[in-house]
C-alpha cells in the first residue's frame, strides 16, 4: 500500500469512528488536521523536513476532498528552478494540468526572490483578473519549519506566505515522535513483505528498540528504505537487529559484526545519489590469466562488485544500471556475502 493510502485510510477511519486511531496520538492529530483541510478548499501549507511524506499527505488530502476525481499535479520547484524554461511558463503548464484538481507546490522555501514574485503573479494575479476569473485549483504547498523565519528575515514574500498558509499542518520529524517509529516500521514491513512475497510477520522487540533509538535524519523515507532492505534480506519471520546493520552501527549499545558504513553513505537518501566514480576503461577483465573466459556467474559477481564501487554503494543507481530490481540485487549481495555493502 503506497504511503499516501496510509494517510487517506486514517482520514477515512477518523470520519467513520473506526478503531485503530489512538486519541491524542500523533497519528490521530495528523489525521484530524488533514481531514479538516480536506473538507475545505483553502490553500494548505505542510511544514515538514525532507523525507517526512509531505507529498503523500497532500495526495491524501486531495483524495479525501471534493476534487478527488480530478487531477493531482505536483510542481517540482527544484527542477523548475534549474531548468531552462521560464518558471512562469512551467507554472502555467502545471496549472492547466491541475484545472479542477489540486496543484502541489513542493519546497516553496527554495524559491528565489524573483521566482517568488513570479509565483505570486501567476497564482494570484495574472491567472485571475487577466483571465477574467480565478483558476479553479486547490493549492497545497510544502516547506521546511523555518518558512516564517524566512519571512521575518525578508527572504520569503509575506503575501505569498499568507496566501499559502490558510491551513497549516506540521509533520514532526521522527526523532521528535519516537513512539510513531514502531507503527511505521510495522506498516512498512507488512507492505514490503506482501509485495516481495516474504513471510515476514513483524519486528522483534530488540529491533523495535533499536529503531526507536536512532534519530532518522532522512525521516520516513530513510526508515522505509531500511525496512525494505531488512525484509528482502531476512531469513526468519521477524526482523531482528541483524537486518539493520547500518542503524546498529550508529546506536550505542547495539553492535553487529560487520564493518560500519561511512555515515555520509549510510545517511544519504536513496534518491540523493552522488555522481559515479571515475574509472579507467576495461575496469575488469573477461579473461583469466590462463587465457580462458570467466563463467557467467563469475562475470556477474565482478559486475556487481564493480558497480558497488563505481556507484559508491547507492543501491538505486546500482540496480538501475545493472538492469535488475532492488530486491534481486539485495538477494545477490547476500549470496555473495556482500550484504553489508548495501547503503
Q: Are residues 161 and 281 in the same domain?
A: no
Beta-carbon neighbour count of residue 77 at 10 Å?
A: 23
Q: What domain count does the chain have?
A: 3
Q: Are residues 294 and 338 in the same domain?
A: yes
What's the rounded Cα separation, in Å, for the pair 211 and 1? Answer: 22
Q: What is the CATH number of the domain that holds 98?
A: 3.40.50.300
pLDDT higher than threshold 90 for residue 37: yes
Q: Are residues 21 and 123 in the same domain?
A: yes
- Kindly state the percentage of the chain with pLDDT values over 90: 35
Q: Are residues 129 and 256 in the same domain?
A: no
Tell me which long-range contacts 270-278 makes (C-beta under 8 A, separation of at least 24). Answer: 270/221, 270/225, 270/314, 270/315, 270/316, 271/221, 271/316, 273/311, 273/314, 273/316, 273/317, 274/312, 274/314, 276/310, 276/311, 276/312, 276/317, 277/309, 277/310, 277/311, 277/312
Domain boundary pick from 148, 172, 196: 172
Q: How far is CA 186 from CA 23, 191, 242, in A?
A: 20, 8, 17
Q: Are residues 280 and 310 in the same domain?
A: yes
Q: Are residues 140 and 204 in the same domain?
A: no
Task: Provide mean pLDDT across the span 278-300.
Answer: 64
pLDDT recorded at residue 116 = 83
Q: Are residues 253 and 339 in the same domain?
A: no
pLDDT higher than threshold 90 for residue 140: yes
Q: Determine the 3-state secondary structure of 93 from DSSP.
A: helix
**Digit-coded pLDDT (tens) for 64-82:** 999 999 999 998 887 777 7
Q: Are residues 297 and 316 in the same domain?
A: yes
Domain boundary pick from 235, 252, 269: 269
Q: Are residues 43 and 151 in the same domain?
A: yes
pLDDT recorded at residue 279 = 44
What's the rounded Cα separation, in Å, for the pair 111 and 80? Answer: 10
Q: Are residues 280 and 244 in the same domain?
A: no
**Start-to-end CA span in the chain (Å):** 24
The C-alpha cell of 203 is what? 519486528
Beta bridge partners of 73: 103
pLDDT higher than threshold 80 for residue 87: no
Q: Are residues 11 and 159 in the same domain?
A: yes
- Mean pLDDT for all residues in the chain: 81
What's the rounded Cα separation, in Å, for the pair 202 and 294? Answer: 41
Beta bridge partners of 238: 202
Domain boundary pick from 142, 172, 202: 172
pLDDT higher than threshold 60 for residue 137: yes
Which domain does 185 fall in, by range?
177-269
pLDDT higher than threshold 60 for residue 277: no
Q: Are residues 23 and 166 in the same domain?
A: yes
Residue among 157, 152, 190, 168 nearest 57 (CA): 168
Amino acid at each position: 500500500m503506497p504511503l499516501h493510502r496510509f494517510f487517506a485510510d486514517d482520514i477515512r477511519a477518523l470520519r467513520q469512528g473506526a478503531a485503530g486511531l489512538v486519541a491524542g496520538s500523533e497519528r490521530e492529530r495528523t489525521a484530524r488536521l488533514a481531514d479538516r483541510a480536506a473538507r475545505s478548499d483553502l490553500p494548505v501549507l505542510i511544514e515538514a523536513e525532507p523525507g517526512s511524506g509531505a507529498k503523500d499527505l497532500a495526495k491524501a488530502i486531495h483524495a479525501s476532498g471534493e476534487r478527488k476525481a480530478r487531477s493531482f499535479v505536483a510542481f517540482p520547484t527544484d527542477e523548475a528552478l534549474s531548468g531552462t524554461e521560464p518558471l512562469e511558463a512551467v507554472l502555467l503548464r502545471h496549472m492547466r494540468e491541475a484545472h479542477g484538481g489540486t496543484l502541489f507546490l513542493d519546497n516553496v522555501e527554495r524559491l528565489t526572490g524573483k521566482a517568488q514574485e513570479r509565483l505570486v503573479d501567476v497564482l494570484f494575479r495574472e491567472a485571475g483578473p487577466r483571465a477574467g476569473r480565478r483558476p479553479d485549483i486547490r493549492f497545497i504547498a510544502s516547506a521546511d519549519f523555518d518558512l516564517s523565519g524566512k519571512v521575518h528575515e525578508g527572504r520569503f514574500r509575506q503575501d505569498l506566505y499568507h496566501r499559502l498558509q490558510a491551513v497549516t499542518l506540521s509533520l514532526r520529524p521522527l526523532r521528535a515522535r519516537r513512539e510513531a517509529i514502531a507503527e511505521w516500521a510495522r506498516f512498512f514491513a507488512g507492505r514490503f513483505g506482501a509485495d516481495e512475497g516474504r513471510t515476514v510477520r513483524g519486528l522483534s522487540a530488540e529491533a523495535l528498540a533499536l529503531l526507536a533509538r536512532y534519530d532518522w535524519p532522512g525521516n520516513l523515507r530513510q526508515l522505509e528504505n531500511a525496512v525494505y532492505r531488512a525484509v528482502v534480506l531476512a531469513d526468519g519471520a521477524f526482523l531482528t537487529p541483524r537486518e539493520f546493520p547500518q542503524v546498529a552501527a550508529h546506536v550505542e549499545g547495539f553492535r553487529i559484526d560487520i564493518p560500519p558504513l561511512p555515515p555520509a553513505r549510510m545517511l544519504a537518501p536513496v534518491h540523493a545519489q552522488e555522481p559515479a566514480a571515475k574509472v579507467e576503461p576495461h575496469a575488469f577483465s573477461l579473461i583469466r590469466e590462463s587465457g580462458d573466459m570467466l563463467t557467467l556467474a563469475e562475470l556477474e559477481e565482478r559486475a556487481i562488485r564493480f558497480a558497488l564501487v563505481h556507484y559508491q554503494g547507492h543501491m538505486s543507481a546500482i540496480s538501475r544500471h545493472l538492469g535488475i530490481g532492488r530486491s534481486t540485487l539485495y538477494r545477490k549481495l547476500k549470496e555473495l556475502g556482500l550484504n553489508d555493502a548495501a547503503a
